[in-house]
Amino acid sequence: MVKPFRTVTLIVLDSVGIGGAPDAAEYNDEGADTLGHLAEFGKIKIENLCKLGIGNIRKFHGIKPADPPVAYYGIMQESSKGKGSTEGHWEIAGCVTEKPFALFPNGFPKNLIDKFQKAIGREVLGNCPASGTEIINRLGDEHSRSGKPIVYTSADSVFQIAAREDIVPLEQLYDWCSTARRMLVGEWNVVRVIARPFVKQGKKYVRTKNRKDFSVKPPYDTVLDILSKNSLHVIAIGKINDLFAGKGITEAVKTDNNAAGMKQTVRETAKKPEGLIFTNLVDFDMLYGHRNNPEGYINALEEFDRQLRDLIYIMDNEQLLIMTADHGCDPLYKGWDHTRERVPLLVYSPRFKSGGDLGLRETFADVGATLAENFAVEQTKDGNSFMTALN
């Protein structure tokens, strides 16, 4: 029997997909391959990830496999319906989304917008699918003159409200989002309402760090709930707390970017808490995938790899590191939105003499099941543990 680990640090590299999802065509994403296309675009210097075995997962241009890798490695494919961050993270935690959330590829229906406008006492701009950085620059001047909020969506199930911080106070914007959250149920079952405050810098409008997510809660307990109910720590770093609407979280740490997220992850791991440290690194997705910026994406991967060295350095034999992703967002693919892809799986502890192949996992929920087995708590509804393979 594998000796359990006292602390598990779980890092989601937001959008670092590896292509090959068997149902990609159903999402109009056939051929998307985030990490594969980035590797073809330019040399990626990720020495620490290579030592762990990222190049052993599959062939990537210029990324060599380790012989032997020091981590266990594998591939996971999503079984949830959808390709959003919420569905991906919920599934990682052991909750598969069987019914897709509502999507609005042509904008939101008139009766919904009319109801929302009446509730907030003013008209809205936009009401269309859009890139967040594009739409605030396209409609920012009109918003500045009128004070009308900009409402938009994407290929994911989101209702996003953008407003200038010096025109619409943050608390008012958050209140509008709360209003929308209460409306978006039933046939309008949107998974996340997102406040997108922005400011004017020179001639351009840029988003600030005061984003706030208003999410629905998972329909049943995830491994986070199970761990916290058993008096174990569940420390959420980055946007994890938002994605789970606080459900099952014992401590939430807000961060501004990937670097801050990794700094907090190293700090929390060094404390050796009994339980889970769950980190999301959103910059890959938000700043580079959605903005079709492969150069920035590669630089972010290299920066993460340098900080990964610091995390590995402070770990001991009682600690386990799991790294994966929640979906793809290929900056070299058509469009600017999430892509349905398989994701990498890397599992490391200083305890391991060497790694091994965990194969193809048919659901992200295998991670949640593994966490439950490690901490000897109630199993998650979905997933199969790979704990016994870690020797």
The answer to whether position 102 is within a domain reads: no
The answer to whether position 100 is within a domain reads: no
Strands (DSSP E) contained in 168-305 are 192-201, 204-207, 212-215, 233-237, 251-253, 275-281
CA distance 83 to 14: 12
The answer to whether position 192 is within a domain reads: yes
361 and 241 fall within a common domain: yes
Q: Does the structure show a pLDDT above 90 at 391?
A: no
Residue finishing a domain among 182, 215, 248: 215
CATH number at residue 59: 3.40.720.10
pLDDT tens-digit readout, 290-304: 999 999 999 999 999
pLDDT tens-digit readout, 287-344: 999 999 999 999 999 999 999 999 999 999 999 999 999 999 999 999 888 999 999 9
44 and 85 fall within a common domain: yes
Segment 222-228 mean pLDDT:
98
Is the entire prediction scored with pTM above 0.85? yes
Segment 246-271 mean pLDDT:
97
pLDDT tens-digit readout, 161-216: 999 999 999 999 999 999 999 999 888 989 999 999 999 999 999 999 899 989 99
169 and 310 fall within a common domain: no
363 and 242 fall within a common domain: yes
The number of C-alpha atoms within 13 Å of 209 and in the hemisphere containing its C-beta is 9
Contacts (Cβ under 8 Å, ≥6 apart) of 367: 10, 76, 92, 93, 94, 322, 324, 345, 383
Range of the structural domain that residue 341 is part of: 7-95+218-389
289 and 140 fall within a common domain: no
Segment 86-99 mean pLDDT:
95
How much is the mean pLDDT over the chain?
Answer: 96
124 and 40 fall within a common domain: no
The answer to whether position 302 is within a domain reads: yes
The number of C-alpha atoms within 13 Å of 99 and in the hemisphere containing its C-beta is 8
75 and 118 fall within a common domain: no
C-alpha gyration radius of the chain: 21
194 and 45 fall within a common domain: no
Q: Does the structure show a pLDDT above 80 at 377?
A: yes
CATH number at residue 141: 3.30.70.1250
The answer to whether the bond into 219 is cis (omega within 30° of 0) is no
225 and 361 fall within a common domain: yes
The answer to whether position 2 is within a domain reads: no
Give the 3-state secondary structure of residue 142.
helix
What is the torsional sign of CA 52, 312, 78, 254?
Answer: negative
**pLDDT number for residue 287:** 92
**pLDDT number for residue 1:** 63
Strands (DSSP E) contained in the chain are 7-13, 72-76, 125-129, 150-153, 158-164, 192-201, 204-207, 212-215, 233-237, 251-253, 275-281, 319-324, 343-348, 357-361
185 and 275 fall within a common domain: no
Residue finishing a domain among 163, 190, 215: 215
Residue finishing a domain among 215, 242, 268: 215
Provide the domain count of the chain: 2
Contact yes or no for 305/40 (Cβ under 8 A): no
**pLDDT number for residue 91:** 98
184 and 329 fall within a common domain: no
DSSP for 107-135 reads B--HHHHHHHHHHHTS--EEEEE--HHHH
Segment 237-257 mean pLDDT:
95
**pLDDT number for residue 155:** 76
CA distance 326 to 11: 10
**pLDDT number for residue 336:** 86
The answer to whether position 105 is within a domain reads: no
How many other CB atoms are there within 10 angstroms of residue 96's CB atom? 20
200 and 258 fall within a common domain: no
Segment 273-296 mean pLDDT:
96
The answer to whether position 1 is within a domain reads: no
Segment 333-362 mean pLDDT:
96
**pLDDT number for residue 131:** 85
- Residue 100: band (very low, low, confident or very high) from pLDDT cuts 50, 70, 90: confident
pLDDT tens-digit readout, 118-146: 999 999 999 999 988 899 999 999 999 99
The answer to whether position 313 is within a domain reads: yes
